[in-house]
Structure 1
């Protein structure tokens, strides 16, 4: 039978058939670590049984060998191993870190040594090897210590070292132990007992009651006991001038505490009674945790470079002389003085010819250098210098800038340290391709502020769509909420809730400023009320474009609206935002947002258009990456080139670990409750609610027209809504030209006389 022919145009079948891929068996993640923990549990059980002389030959011999090795410590081995097994399953990767195992072994050795020192003859090896005292290991430790000190001192040293190792293993600070002992032994003063009773009474109430003070009385605050956690923290109650106003003051305070919940029920906000951690003895991390700059720049033959520049320009009829050269960390700036009558545009048009003759990949012309009669021609160094974060934090520029929101940027083209103040920027856009250095810049910004602020002074909101850029900051005491990691539906839902909470916190702060007598900004509030805590808040959003693209339309509107509101009004309230992205395009950086964020860091980008979105001109597309950036602020008319400060992941981890050893995470309880709630985004308020799309908006307009006056508190009382929602309605009415701007503490002016002017029915 003839073989079947294949149709025209079809290739012949291959005679060599590929063998099918062998089936692959995979095991779950961390499988072997869990198996190891189970095997350790089995060995622990065998040793425990053998210590009592039962279980057969193997348990008895294994227990005997353990007694020979560590003596009486063998009876503590099962307990310590059991604790380590439990801790192992609680770790993120189901395994105990190697440093904990090393510390545990040292603890065993010191415990064995202590048991050996308790014997009448601690130097007897024969007695130790019978299983008494500390065994062989204990004899080695005891013999080594007795060579330098006597028995009592050796026991004291062993006990102290064991205590330190114990605290390290279980992440307990020595100060916390001392505070606990002091609280246990010390007697409560009358004032402290009164505070404790007040705290208990307030925690049992369903709603906070404010007011009720007689004329001339001052509300007393509970005094926090240093080092004691979970104490009462309350804002100072405003004194009431007359008894007749008590009820009105109480009603007003209760209205100001209203928030909208999922069920639409108004109830009191419990932020006035929050368990807080005392940070009065906070220790800032040491600069020694950071590495020093070890490599200096090598610009090459500068005389030859200067000659090449002059010869290249003369070939095209442009005369000029290189007067000086500034050696920077990444580039050397050659200062060219052109001849009279030579237009700067003619020099900048020779960019490509200069780069070809100089045989460099990248070259930048700054014409002119701000404040100088020169044209700057920036040529890459033969070997760049390393710019460490430590070198900036140890500079005079850092010492001069005392702002709490100061941060290290890097070195400019002449090698001077650059330090900026986020409070004066007041927001920041950062853009750059992968590997350009924007994530390192983010770490430098956060780390700079950690070296100068306690958790009471500064809080961060961190958004990490990649899930790995901000992992080092997880559970850091300076966080207001857990790091939002990834772009899953749940994480994006948390993002929307968090940003809406930030806008509500901003509105709440402005209300506090008004109630305190017309305070204009946070620094004035801290100056007048230094004992009241209101930390600055920095919102850092990475990969902003990816977030916007991954959100649903309603959530996208909520996020962009919240980001825009923070940019518009956050500065005076002490709230600042840093937005980072790879592809800065007009659809992501819209007009209102761009107008309110004048500061930008442009690392290497892909096109001139992307560069213009950040620094308002081209140039960033010609940068060299790895920290090479152009920055612009409201005070700078032209971008400045900077080599950003470098801080590696190990330095970040070590510094954050130092902070975690002082305190656990100090999250905002109200925000945590909102994030854990399954209610609609915004706590029951529709996304974008509070504006023209709010069902209460038209009622608010009608009230304004009928009464001829309007204010946030008045709107709260008439419509029965929360402060944040009323504030958003007021803002929308102002934008629509219905009411005038804020006029101190007086109601706003209504600009329309009838609904007919608005086209209302």
Structure 2
């Protein structure tokens, strides 16, 4: 079979360029996660081998490794394996231990300067020979120490090295010099705490029970009043007791709740591939023509915040408008864009973590920020998006609104607030009034010594309690005025036990507003406007964030608000006056805003379980009994015997009755003309008179009946019973001629035939 001869013609350059390139098999490149894992294995293996070499358990090669470590690091070779092990752990959990490059630089500066400081113990003339022998700071320390000591002397050179060491610590810990000095005292404080614990254990049997309730040093209540137990209270002090009559002598009760009652941390967050998400964010923005420079990454318990700095000329609205596009690229929903981050020229993109960490209340109460609190009204919020503990002070807030959908973490936050205040305050410093219309959330606190009255579940008793609190507020103002004090803080410096703080907590505001909206709103508004100076604070919680529950007056006077997950942007705006709460993840994820914050800030609320609450309550019950005031809910305050909305109308009631009896009829326009008041007040007076039975109900255009003398409320000017129809002729009331011109007056009598 003949073969076709191959053409001997050479291919032109154009044909060579257009022909496909030969396919070369390439080995697949390693994934970033694989390279990262290999590095982690090498570092951890190096830590183990170096440790075995130093203790002589790695054979001949281990001996050489130990000599090399001694030559390089001197006496510090013994802790090099620890450094490597810590580095390996950081590499093993990058989403939990994301360390910025600047902190690595600080660590290297600290390490090198510490080696040079160790070399200070070696004579300068023999520095390198001793370093090669594995003494001092090794060869690395000698390279830095020798020039400094040779040119500046030991003192000046040592000060420079010490300065470099401290600077490295500041960079590595990302803290200030003041905080560094404060943290340096931790060991001393722990030793002092241990010695105090041993002393208390030895003397526990010889100390009376009431004297054993000493606070631990880390949770010692901040004394903000005079605790002179031998001082005999004066008669004037006995007359100024706001809560209950006090005995001849009062001893301040202190109850220290141990942290062991609460559960510790149980989980860590998982944010996924941080570097991959960082690249996706930058690439997605570039696809839409937005150039950004990526910044730090903060891994929080619920979300991971990626910070970025837009290029000049980029509008923030361009970035916020790409919310859905970024969510699609990251395969995460929902994401929240904070533009800009308050106090920074950065934009934050908050991406939900793969797994959410539970923030325990114990973590916050044991943190330095809570132990160094400036007020005993400080309570736990949780952790911010960077994982730092967050607290708030109820004193400057001074009231708090908590709202969110069912199951979003609202009741857990209320429990966390109560437990935080119980940890910080004795029963003589703080009193609670707890309102729980749902009957299942706060009833567990019945019996603790901090309660003024048992947990209130009845609406009528709640209204009586609101009246009592308003009356207590007025009475405290009178006390401060007589004492010449401006607020409760200055008064308590001289009379600490006489005026405790009062925190009124309403767990479901919507239930009360649906029954007695006007009265409840009036009391809340008045307390919110005036109660701070006398130490009365409100905490309002609701799961129905609608405008008929969170009214404009309540929002105007309660500026500190917490919003948990809600169903719509409208609900978010009702709570915060801004959107964002509809994008929260639930389970304690919240936005918090106060007068000090320019825009809402995101936190993961601290979790406290029912079992933990029960343990705290049982601990308190076993050490003190409550001193209830039953008159708070059994009867209204004498100063507020009438409905709160009708205050200020009493002085016109008697005059209104006289006008109605003289005219023989009752209408709003009649009272407007005779009493010279507005329509709203005249109509309110008619409602009061109808409630008393003085007049009959309005029935459209039909006249109201007057029952003055039938109920014994008539005056001497009424010469005959007034239980007749109010349809008297206009001759009895010359001014009533104008009524016929207003056919829409519901209280006007009909024309006579």
The corresponding residue for 2:132 is none
Matched, 1:502 2:469: yes
After superposition, residues 343-382 of structure 1 pair within 5 angstroms as 343-382=315-354
Contact 1:681 1:687 in 2 (8 A): no
Structure 2 CA distance, aligned partners of 1:277 and 1:656?
A: 27
Matched, 1:511 2:462: no
Structure 1 CA distance, aligned partners of 2:596 and 2:237?
A: 40
1:102-138 deviations in whole A, cap 9, x for unaligned?
A: xxxxxxxxxxxxxxxxxxxxxxxxxxxxxxxxxxxxx
The corresponding residue for 1:618 is 579
Structure 2 CA distance, aligned partners of 1:603 and 1:476?
A: 29
The corresponding residue for 1:607 is 568
1:703-735 deviations in whole A, cap 9, x for unaligned?
A: xxxxxxxxxxxxxxxxxxxxxxxxxxxxxxxxx
Matched, 1:409 2:381: yes
Contact 2:233 2:249 in 1 (8 A): no
The corresponding residue for 2:489 is 523
Matched, 1:647 2:608: yes
Structure 2 CA distance, aligned partners of 1:676 and 1:175?
A: 35
Structure (1/2) with the larger helix percentage = 2
Q: Max radius of gyration: which structure?
A: 2
Contact 1:630 1:642 in 2 (8 A): yes
Tell me the SS of whatever aligns to 2:520: helix
Structure 2 CA distance, aligned partners of 1:424 and 1:684?
A: 28
The offset of 1:393, in angstroms, is 0.8
The offset of 1:556, in angstroms, is 3.1
Change in Cα spacing, 1:277 to 1:393, as seen in structure 2 (3 Å) is farther
1:477 to 426, 443, 449: 449
Structure 2 CA distance, aligned partners of 1:541 and 1:642?
A: 23
Structure 2 CA distance, aligned partners of 1:386 and 1:622?
A: 19
1:616-674 deviations in whole A, cap 9, x for unaligned?
A: 21000110000000100101001110001111111111011111111112223xxx135
The offset of 1:695, in angstroms, is 3.5
Matched, 1:330 2:302: yes
The offset of 1:682, in angstroms, is 6.3
Structure 2 CA distance, aligned partners of 1:224 and 1:479?
A: 24
Contiguous gaps of at least 5 residues in structure 1: 1-172, 179-222, 227-232, 240-252, 258-268, 486-490, 700-761
The offset of 1:448, in angstroms, is 0.4
Contact 1:691 1:697 in 2 (8 A): no
Structure 2 CA distance, aligned partners of 1:301 and 1:689?
A: 59
1:484-511 deviations in whole A, cap 9, x for unaligned?
A: 12xxxxx111001001000000000000
The corresponding residue for 1:542 is 507
Tell me the SS of whatever aligns to 1:357: helix
1:346-376 deviations in whole A, cap 9, x for unaligned?
A: 1000101111121112100000111222110
Structure 2 CA distance, aligned partners of 1:334 and 1:506?
A: 47
After superposition, residues 91-102 of structure 1 pair within 5 angstroms as none
Structure 2 CA distance, aligned partners of 1:494 and 1:429?
A: 22
Contact 1:296 1:385 in 2 (8 A): yes
The corresponding residue for 2:619 is 658
2:293 to 297, 321, 326: 321
1:422-449 deviations in whole A, cap 9, x for unaligned?
A: 0110001111111111111101100001
Structure 2 CA distance, aligned partners of 1:238 and 1:589?
A: 40
1:342 to 306, 310, 314: 314
The corresponding residue for 1:592 is 553
2:647 to 684, 691, 699: 691
Contact 2:462 2:633 in 1 (8 A): no
The corresponding residue for 1:213 is none
The corresponding residue for 1:750 is none
Tell me the SS of whatever aligns to 2:622: helix
Structure 2 CA distance, aligned partners of 1:441 and 1:270?
A: 29
Structure 2 CA distance, aligned partners of 1:387 and 1:504?
A: 40
The corresponding residue for 1:237 is 236
Tell me the SS of whatever aligns to 2:464: helix
The offset of 1:581, in angstroms, is 0.8
After superposition, residues 124-139 of structure 1 pair within 5 angstroms as none
Tell me the SS of whatever aligns to 1:354: helix
Structure 1 CA distance, aligned partners of 2:616 and 2:371?
A: 20
The offset of 1:697, in angstroms, is 8.1
Structure 2 CA distance, aligned partners of 1:389 and 1:238?
A: 39
Contact 1:284 1:450 in 2 (8 A): no
Contact 1:234 1:274 in 2 (8 A): no
1:673 to 631, 636, 653: 631
Structure 1 CA distance, aligned partners of 2:242 and 2:537?
A: 25
Structure 2 CA distance, aligned partners of 1:443 and 1:373?
A: 37
Tell me the SS of whatever aligns to 1:579: strand
The corresponding residue for 1:248 is none
Computed over aligned residues only, the root mean square deviation of the Cα atoms, in angstroms, reads: 3.0
Contact 1:299 1:380 in 2 (8 A): yes
Change in Cα spacing, 1:684 to 1:639, as seen in structure 2 (3 Å) is closer
Report the TM-score, using the length of structure 2 for normalisation. Answer: 0.55
Q: Paired residues, what number? A: 437
The corresponding residue for 1:430 is 402
Tell me the SS of whatever aligns to 2:290: coil
Structure 2 CA distance, aligned partners of 1:535 and 1:271?
A: 8
Contact 1:234 1:272 in 2 (8 A): no
Tell me the SS of whatever aligns to 1:570: helix
Structure 2 CA distance, aligned partners of 1:367 and 1:357?
A: 19
Change in Cα spacing, 1:332 to 1:478, as seen in structure 2 (3 Å) is same
Contact 1:279 1:456 in 2 (8 A): no
Tell me the SS of whatever aligns to 1:577: strand
The offset of 1:283, in angstroms, is 2.2
Change in Cα spacing, 1:320 to 1:457, as seen in structure 2 (3 Å) is same
Tell me the SS of whatever aligns to 1:237: helix
2:209 to 166, 169, 175: 175
The corresponding residue for 2:223 is none
The corresponding residue for 1:717 is none
Tell me the SS of whatever aligns to 1:484: coil
Contact 1:539 1:576 in 2 (8 A): yes
The offset of 1:276, in angstroms, is 9.9
Change in Cα spacing, 1:674 to 1:396, as seen in structure 2 (3 Å) is closer
The offset of 1:315, in angstroms, is 1.9
1:454-495 deviations in whole A, cap 9, x for unaligned?
A: 11100111111111111220121101111012xxxxx11100
The offset of 1:271, in angstroms, is 6.6
Structure 2 CA distance, aligned partners of 1:176 and 1:594?
A: 44
Matched, 1:492 2:469: no
The offset of 1:289, in angstroms, is 0.7
Contact 1:387 1:643 in 2 (8 A): yes
Contact 1:690 1:697 in 2 (8 A): no
Structure 1 CA distance, aligned partners of 2:242 and 2:600?
A: 47
2:277 to 282, 305, 309: 305
1:674-720 deviations in whole A, cap 9, x for unaligned?
A: 5335xx78688221266232246899xxxxxxxxxxxxxxxxxxxxx
Change in Cα spacing, 1:302 to 1:650, as seen in structure 2 (3 Å) is same
Report the TM-score, using the length of structure 1 for normalisation. Answer: 0.54
Structure 2 CA distance, aligned partners of 1:386 and 1:421?
A: 23
Change in Cα spacing, 1:275 to 1:495, as seen in structure 2 (3 Å) is farther
